[in-house]
Amino acid sequence: MGDDEEGYGGNHKQQEEEFPKWLPRKDRRLLQVPATSIQADIIVSKDGNGTVKTVGEAIKKAPEHSTRRIIIYVKAGKYEEDNLKVGRKKTNLMFIGDGKGKTVISGGKSIFDKVTTFHTASFAATGAGFIARDMTFENWAGPSKHQAVALRVGADHAVVYRCSIVGYQDTLYVHSQRQFFRECDVYGTVDFIFGNAAVVFQNCTLNARKPMNLQKNTVTAQNRKDPNQNTGISVHACRILATPDLEASKGSFQTYLGRPWKLYSRTVFMLSYMGDHIHPRGFLEWNATFALDTLYYGEYMNYGPGAALGQRVKWPGYRVITTPAEASKFTVAQFIFGSSWLPSTGVAFMAGLST
């Protein structure tokens, strides 16, 4: 699939059409134009050449219950401000950085700090309409500290675009609500994408890293607790890769696509490339037979050396999806906006499976 920009040189209209239709046209344009040409409401700059010097100050300064888009431009730099939170009252905040690896929001909290996994997040967003673009979220606690979240999202209609999310165990907590990740890079080891949102990853790269000895890598750990919840993790047209450190020692470590954190865990991989670090069984048990007949794990037309189906698990809840109709249930159009989620709003849905 080439570099991060591949397939992204088209005109603005084509680019806009690649975002969900619930994203207003104005916001779709904002996701495309260079940060420097956007009229930001708040500018964060460590050198004092902005409105504020810290991301925390910017969040505090943003109005509550905003119905218009509030743009926070975070200039290049490393912002080490543990546990940044965009609360529920801070709606429609858009954070724009200078690029992955340039604007870095960094924290190091882990469960070793005697907090729950939920509270380890370097950055957390629950305010509806949250958008992040062109930045890195990281948790540097390291593999020996176990659960240590880089980014937690529980905001409805959240979009994370061209961002890097870096950690080891429990890197990205897709906690709840409807979320869309596009052209993002996620790095981790154990359960590194986890939670109970309705979330679609599209054109993203999911990178397994070298774990600690005796650990097994799992890309996802979805925790749907109720079969009526319209939630799950959909990985669509992505790349599932190994970082160089794992590549060099992959014979010593097993990497799986996911394991069932809760009874009705639901995860699908569609039209995605899988490297040869993916174990032939595909998925891993959480604990003995727990959830194996109640989960829904599906694969649809994936490719690459790790995508071979011959030795996949034979659990009652695992399936090879064979029809576009079933696969389409997990596209941006149908999965983020199921009929049970949105009453008839007249919103048009973008087309689904074609990549």
Q: How far is Cα 125 from Cα 283, in angstroms, rounded to an integer? A: 30
Q: What share of the chain is helix, strand, coil (3-state, %, to 5)?
A: 15, 30, 55
What are the phi and psi torsion angles at 195 (to 5°)?
135, -170
Closest CA to 169 of 151, 152, 193: 193
Q: To which residue do tokens 């505090």 refer?
A: 60
Q: How far is Cα 241 from Cα 267, in angstroms, rounded to an integer? A: 18
Closest CA to 340 of 348, 329, 351, 354: 329
Residue 132 parent element (H or E) = strand 131-133
Tokens of 60: 């505090």
Q: How far is Cα 59 from Cα 95, in angstroms, rounded to an integer? A: 10
Residue pair 239/273 in contact (Cβ under 8 Å)? The answer is: yes
Closest CA to 79 of 60, 61, 114, 52: 52
Closest CA to 228 of 191, 259, 258, 196: 196
Question: What is the residue-wise DSSP string for 239-281?
Answer: EEEE-HHHHTTGGG--EEEE--SSTT-EEEEES-EE-TTB-TT
Residue pair 86/130 in contact (Cβ under 8 Å)? The answer is: yes
Check 47, 185, 191, 293 and give the catalytic one. 191
- Residue at 42: amino acid letter: I
Q: How far is Cα 188 from Cα 150, in angstroms, rounded to an integer? A: 10
Q: To which residue do tokens 């249930």 refer?
A: 329
Q: To which residue do tokens 């709606």 refer?
A: 91
Residue 191 falls in the annotated catalytic set: yes
**Residue numbers annotated as active site:** 191
